[in-house]
């Protein structure tokens, strides 16, 4: 009874239609045909009026949909006295919404599961060893939290126990549990293993990784898929063909009933329901693989992509630059140069800044706390350190203060960070960032699956960019770019264009590309927010998987539509010769709807079409397959 009441509240028109249909059938069984016809006619006429008004509003907005077929079919069945068939058409149209809702909930199950698993409470360990249960939003930085076995880690944290095992599959798509050691980062949203562990909060709930994913998922759920565009490609021709078949059948037979019998089989539910379900399934499948897709429009663009452009640092490369050399000018101590640069770089979000700071720590240098600091996006950072004004960044940024600044010779694969102190060039830090282990395979597979153009767009120096491009197999290299240069160059590539990046400076180009893919595992929030697709695992091979999912989803959506079109047209031709009565035709069309929706749900499953890409992650000895998540 509870389920029936819920369905009635959610879909009142369906409930009323069922009551009216039962009443009409009961009156017919009691021999009250005239009353039954009157009840059915009044009710169907009301539905026709409401549907017609909605159709007129759509037409005024320039949208010509498939409602006209449903309206004509209902009018025709009423005129020829097939009022039971008219009621079944009403039930089919109104019930289609309920059926779509059910199918959509199945299709987006992984998205919904992520939202449902969001931790609500956390267990804080007090100074005296006692526990207190608190809302997750009340967790503060450096709080010590207890995570019991099989519980979800509530916020990002640092592991305090010797080791722990965590299931990160819902975050990254990696099916195997991962082991973390004392001091290592533990992501919120990961599921703890069989032993309780303690973690120190390194972020609040709002700033944690899982909350970022939930925000992206909410955007993906709210995003409107391009299914209206997909269905509308079929709407006008399908409507014309259906009316033509019905008109010819009437003309040849001389029987207006034949017109109604054909049109009851032309109702548009397969076009209106199957495609949305397919796109929701594709987004759900992506989420299961650690790829958050913000709407069906991104899936469609992925399916038709012709060009892929990559940023270099943190995208094609590991994004963990290591110090290779310190070139200090005469009179500047190399260690002092590194310390001052690291102190200023604390205020930068660039991956090179992290490399400089890490190098200072490895050299045992104490980083000072700077003041009056500011980051100049894509150029560098400046601030006051121990009373001295320090600038760190690109050569052009340093030359604004000292035109005599020079980097010297760059070795292949090296990047130079220039430093000035008190307005004078002080030296350069040479950093080395290696290519990702599967970057070359990713570029090769992209070409194998039909991507026409692969390019590198980077703000780094030409020699460094060319060296990594040669290793990865990319021919088209554009270096020393500003964000506006990247935006301009993306517009010159064969469209649709996929742009892959991870930093703040990539946010503009990710926003303007047909599909922006952010490497969100370690990338900036700005990049994730402006991108259409966010890869939650630090694995460039996921770009190929995203393309595969987009193509598979779009193919399933189109096939589901064609199934509905072909079956409907075939049945209409049979009905044109008088072999399918109106009531039987309306019921048969329900089976066509069901077949289309069941096929559309195939977008939630399916293997990838590309060869397996192997990924060796930093700090891991074993090699894992990036396609494993797709097949699990």
State the pairing for strand pair 121-125/163-167: unpaired
pLDDT in tens, 231-254: 566 777 888 888 899 899 999 988
Tokens representing residue 278 in the block: 């397919």
Q: At what angle do helices 256-263 and 227-253 cross, to 10 degrees?
A: 160
Q: At what angle do helices 351-362 and 334-345 cross, to 10 degrees?
A: 130
Domain boundaries, the chain: 2-109+223-279+552-604, 120-204, 296-318+435-531, 322-432
Report if pTM > 0.85.
no
Least confident interval from 85-94, 217-226, 354-363, 486-495? 217-226
Helix (H) or strand (E) holding 200: strand 197-201
Higher-confidence residue of 530 and 124: namely 124
Specify the CATH number for 120-204; select among 3.30.70.100, 2.40.50.140, 2.70.150.10, 3.10.450.350: 2.70.150.10
CATH class name, domain 296-318+435-531: alpha beta
Cα gap 256→250, rounded to integer Å: 5
Across 388-408, average pLDDT: 88
- Known catalytic residues are 311
CATH class name, domain 322-432: alpha beta
pLDDT of 622 higher than 70: no
What is the band of 10 on the pLDDT scale with cuts at 50, 70, 90?
low
pLDDT in tens, 99-122: 656 655 655 555 556 666 677 888
pLDDT of 496 higher than 60: yes
Q: CA 146: distance to chain centroid?
A: 32
**What pLDDT is stored for residue 199 in this prediction?**
93
What mean pLDDT value characterizes the chain?
Answer: 80
Q: What is the 3-state secondary structure (H, E, C) of 582-609?
A: HHHHHHHHHHHHHHHHHHHHHHHCCCCC
pLDDT in tens, 21-46: 888 888 888 888 888 888 888 888 88
Least confident interval from 71-75, 519-523, 535-539? 519-523
What is the band of 612 on the pLDDT scale with cuts at 50, 70, 90?
low
What is the band of 547 on the pLDDT scale with cuts at 50, 70, 90?
very high
What is the band of 476 on the pLDDT scale with cuts at 50, 70, 90?
very high
Cα gap 4→2, rounded to integer Å: 5
Torsion over CA: 524, 528, 531, 537 (sign): positive
Across 274-286, average pLDDT: 81
**What pLDDT is stored for residue 95 in this prediction?**
67
Same topology, domains 296-318+435-531 and 322-432? Answer is no
Helix (H) or strand (E) holding 14: helix 12-29
């Amino acid at each position: 009874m509870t389920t029936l009441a819920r369905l009635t509240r959610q879909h009142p028109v369906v409930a009323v239609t069922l009551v009216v249909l039962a009443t009409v059938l009961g009156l017919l069984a009691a021999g009250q045909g005239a009353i039954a016809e009157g009840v059915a006619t009044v009710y169907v006429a009301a539905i026709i009026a409401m549907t017609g008004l909605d159709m007129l509003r759509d037409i005024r907005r320039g949208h010509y949909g498939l409602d006209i077929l449903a309206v004509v079919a209902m009018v025709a069945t009423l005129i020829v006295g097939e009022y039971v068939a008219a009621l079944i058409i009403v039930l089919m149209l109104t019930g289609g919404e309920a059926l779509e809702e059910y199918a959509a909930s199945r299709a987006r199950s992984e998205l919904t599961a992520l939202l449902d698993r969001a931790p609500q409470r956390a267990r804080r360990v007090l100074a005296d060893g006692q526990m207190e249960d608190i809302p997750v939003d009340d967790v503060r930085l450096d709080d010590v939290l207890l995570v019991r076995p099989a519980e979800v880690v509530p916020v990002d944290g640092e592991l305090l126990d010797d080791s722990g095992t965590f299931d990160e599959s819902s975050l990254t798509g990696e099916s195997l549990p991962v082991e973390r050691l004392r001091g290592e980062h533990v992501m919120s949203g990961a599921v703890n293993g069989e032993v309780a562990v303690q973690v120190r909060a390194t972020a609040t709930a709002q700033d944690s990784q899982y909350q970022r994913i939930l925000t992206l998922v909410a955007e993906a759920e709210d995003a409107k898929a391009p299914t209206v565009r997909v269905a509308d490609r079929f709407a006008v021709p399908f409507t014309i063909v259906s009316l033509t078949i019905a008109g010819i059948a009437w003309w040849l037979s001389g029987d207006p009933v034949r017109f109604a019998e054909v049109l009851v089989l032309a109702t548009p539910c397969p076009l209106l329901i199957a495609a949305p379900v397919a796109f929701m399934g594709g987004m759900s499948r992506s989420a299961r693989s650690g790829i958050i897709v913000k709407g069906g429009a991104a899936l469609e663009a992925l399916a038709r992509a012709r060009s892929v452009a990559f940023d270099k640092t943190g995208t094609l490369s590991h994004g963990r630059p290591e110090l290779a050399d310190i070139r200090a000018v005469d009179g500047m101590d190399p260690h002092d140069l590194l310390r001052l640069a690291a102190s200023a770089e604390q205020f930068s979000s660039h991956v090179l800044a992290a490399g400089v700071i890490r190098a200072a720590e490895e050299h045992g240098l104490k980083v000072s706390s700077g003041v009056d600091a500011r980051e100049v996006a894509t150029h560098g950072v400046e601030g006051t350190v121990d009373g001295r004004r320090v600038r760190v960044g690109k050569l052009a940024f340093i030359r604004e203060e000292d035109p005599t600044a020079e980097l010297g010779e760059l070795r292949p694969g090296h990047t130079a960070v220039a430093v000035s102190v008190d307005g004078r060039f002080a030296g350069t830090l040479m950093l080395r960032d290696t290519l990702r282990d599967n970057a070359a395979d990713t570029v090769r597979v992209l070409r194998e699956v039909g991507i026409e153009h692969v390019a590198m767009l980077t703000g780094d120096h030409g020699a460094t960019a060319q060296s990594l491009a040669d290793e990865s197999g990319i021919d088209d290299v554009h270096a020393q770019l500003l964000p506006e240069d990247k935006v301009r160059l993306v517009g010159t590539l064969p469209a649709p264009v996929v742009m892959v990046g991870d930093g703040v400076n990539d946010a503009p180009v990710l926003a303007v590309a047909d599909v922006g893919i952010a490497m969100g595992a370690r990338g900036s929030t700005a990049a994730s927010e402006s991108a259409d697709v966010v890869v939650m695992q630090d694995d460039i091979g996921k770009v190929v998987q995203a393309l595969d999912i987009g193509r598979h989803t779009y193919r399933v959506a189109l096939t589901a539509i064609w199934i509905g079109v072909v079956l409907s047209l075939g049945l209409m031709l049979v009905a044109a010769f008088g072999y399918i009565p109106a009531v039987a035709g309306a019921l048969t069309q329900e089976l066509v709807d069901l077949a289309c929706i069941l096929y559309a749900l195939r977008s939630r499953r399916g293997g990838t079409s590309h060869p397996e890409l192997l990924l060796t992650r930093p700090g891991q000895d074993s090699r894992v397959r990036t396609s494993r998540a797709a097949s699990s």
